[in-house]
Amino acid sequence: MTYDVVVIGAGLAGLASALRLADEGLHVLVVAKGVGGTHLAPATIDVLGYADGRVESPARALPEFVAAHPEHPYGRVSVELIRASLEWIRERLDGLGYRGGLEENVLLPTAVGVAKPTALVPQTMAAGDLRAGGRFVFVGLGGLKDFYPAYLAENLARAELPNGASVSARALELGLPLGREGDVSGTGFARRFEQSAFRDQVVRGLEQRLVPGEIVGFPAVLGFRHAQEVWQELETRLRHPVFEVPTLPPSVGGIRVFERLTAALRRKGARVVVGTTVSGSEHNRKTLEGVVTQTAGRPRTYRARSFVLASGGFASGGLQMDSYGRVRETAFELALAGLPAPGGQRFEPGYFDEQPLDGAGLAVDDALRPLDPAGAPAFENLHAAGATLAGATPWREASGNGISLATGYAAASAILERMS
């Protein structure tokens, strides 16, 4: 069987690309080695948080940023396209109630109390917006080792906010019955929050302890599928604004995104196969015809008319470096850009320094097709998206999900354009 499109990778870039294509009636297969960055990153869509200092408006900052970083993935897509991708995801994930946009970054507290800029935030996190200041209280859940509200609050109280806004922040610890289990993960708490008896305990434990006017921050573990209802119920019963603060992976908020996107894909007739590694290709000159995957027992080839490579960067295994310093793209052995000189220094001694390997990845044309060493598309029907692209340091720019979403969306657009 031949698919219209095979997408490699199930992070935000791969899933967004696949869903956009499936929405247009194309027959899509997603193959992935494992779940992707959704389970690691918070559910916010950061487009550009830091350039020279904190970015207030991505829309205003992007033209200059792209001019200064011509190799950046944002250099391959227009600001209009980025805006369109945000609008698209907001509609496509309407159950998560995303708000914000490209004009003004929201400032949300991280789990160490940094006011971090982001473009689009799910409704359950929106009340954490720090831009206008306010009185915040952060709730620690006894037995959750991944959240330290007093530490967060103390740092946050010193955060620099725009227009002289200021926050006051304090912490509360809530002891909760966890049964016989002593080591409950964030996902374990998320399951408990979906139970009304557990929520009763939370509300009872908090209602006498809140000060009027306080905005209440929880770790981002307020349920999976029913997170909106959980959040709504807490706001209603506590009669305070409530929001979530993302903490260590696995990201409960990101899992909600993954679940919704894959469910939507399946409804559109797409297949999602997780647990499969792409190990080679079949091609005819410049046309990619199939990808060879390693599944249980034997290799298997999936054929398609177009392909999207969204296998991620070093963190996801889309890029690898061996002990001799040789870097490779693992699915197709594509040519790479942004590498340190052979024999040159791979890393700088300061952890927060810019690292020579930072921008490594695939150079692409304006249709996001990876280029061969001569600068021509490696395959006329292969497009790349997300963290596998060269030229970005998304963890430092606060641009990860933005790049993934915009380039995933753009790769789909390029395919649709060529097919029409």
Partner 1 sequence: MPALETEVLVVGGGSTGVGVVRDAAMRGLSTVLVERGDLAVGTTGRFHGLLHSGGRYAVKDPLAAVECVAENAILRRTAADCIEDTGGLFVTTKWDDPAFGDEFERGCRDTGVPVEEIPVKEALALEPRLDRSISRAFAVPDASLDPWKLVSGCARSAREHGARILPYHRVLELERRSGRVLGARVESALTGDEVRIRANVVVNAAGAWAGQIAELAGCKVTILPGKGIMIAMNHRLVNTVVNRCKPPADGDIIVPIRTVSVIGTTDTRVAHPDELEVSQQEIDEMLDEGEKLVPGFREARALRVWAGARPLFSAEDVSDTREVSRSHALLDHAERDGVEGLITITGGKTTTFRLMAEAAVDAVCAHLGVDRPCRTHEEPLPGSEEGRFYWLGSRVQAQEPVPRSEEIICECELITRDRLKAAMVTRPTTNLDDIRRMLRLGMGPCQGGFCIYRATGMLHKYERLDSRAANASLLDFLQERWKGVHPILHGDQLRQASLDDWIFQGLLAVQHLPE
- The contact set with partner 1 (CB under 8 A) reads 37, 40-42, 50, 54, 110-116, 143, 145-148, 150-151, 154-155, 158-160, 180-183, 246-249, 313-317, 320-325, 346-352, 394-396, 398, 400
**Quick one: 27 or 33, whose CB is closer to partner 1?**
33
**Quick one: 147 or 218, whose CB is closer to partner 1?**
147
* Smallest gap from residue 123 Cβ to partner 1 (A): 20
- The closest of 219, 260, 214 to 241, measured between CA atoms, is 214
3-state helix/strand/coil string of 59-94: HHHHHHHHHHCCCCHHHHCCHHHHHHHHHHHHHHCH
* Smallest gap from residue 395 Cβ to partner 1 (A): 4
* Smallest gap from residue 357 Cβ to partner 1 (A): 8
**Quick one: 223 or 394, whose CB is closer to partner 1?**
394
> How crowded is residue 10: how many other Cβ atoms within 10 Å of its Cβ?
30
**Quick one: 170 or 271, whose CB is closer to partner 1?**
170
* Smallest gap from residue 344 Cβ to partner 1 (A): 10
* Smallest gap from residue 12 Cβ to partner 1 (A): 13
What CA–CA distances, in Å, run from 101 to 46, 61, 121, 281? 10, 14, 9, 39
Cis check for the bond before 250: say yes or no (omega within 30 of 0): yes
> DSSP readout, 88-134?
HHHHHTGGG--EE-SSS-EEEE-TTS-EEEESEE-HHHHTT--TT-E
* Smallest gap from residue 105 Cβ to partner 1 (A): 13
- The closest of 225, 154, 224, 238 to 188, measured between CA atoms, is 224
Query: What angle separates helix 227-238 from helix 196-206, to the nearest 10 degrees?
Result: 30
**Quick one: 95 or 188, whose CB is closer to partner 1?**
188
Would residue 53 be called left, alpha or beta, if left means φ above 0 and alpha means ψ between -120 and 50 degrees?
A: left
SS3 157: coil
* Smallest gap from residue 415 Cβ to partner 1 (A): 28
* Smallest gap from residue 200 Cβ to partner 1 (A): 24
Query: Which helix (H) or strand (E) element contains residue 274?
Result: strand 271-274
**Quick one: 75 or 312, whose CB is closer to partner 1?**
312
* Smallest gap from residue 321 Cβ to partner 1 (A): 5
What CA–CA distances, in Å, run from 54 to 48, 50, 166, 396, 398? 9, 5, 17, 11, 10
* Tokens 């916010």 -> residue: 44
Please state, in angstroms and rounded to a whole number, the distance separating the CA atoms of residues 305 and 303. Answer: 7
**Quick one: 162 or 249, whose CB is closer to partner 1?**
249
How many residues in the chain? Answer: 420
Query: Which helix (H) or strand (E) element contains residue 205?
Result: helix 196-206
Please state, in angstroms and rounded to a whole number, the distance separating the CA atoms of residues 299 and 187. Answer: 34
**Quick one: 81 or 315, whose CB is closer to partner 1?**
315
**Quick one: 91 or 351, whose CB is closer to partner 1?**
351
Cβ distance 22 to 263 under 8 Å? no
* Tokens 């809530």 -> residue: 174
**Quick one: 36 or 290, whose CB is closer to partner 1?**
36
* Smallest gap from residue 28 Cβ to partner 1 (A): 27
Return all residues near 93 (Cβ < 8 A) that are at least 6 apart.
Answer: 122, 257, 260, 261
What CA–CA distances, in Å, run from 241 to 127, 128, 253? 6, 9, 18
* Smallest gap from residue 233 Cβ to partner 1 (A): 27
**Quick one: 88 or 151, whose CB is closer to partner 1?**
151
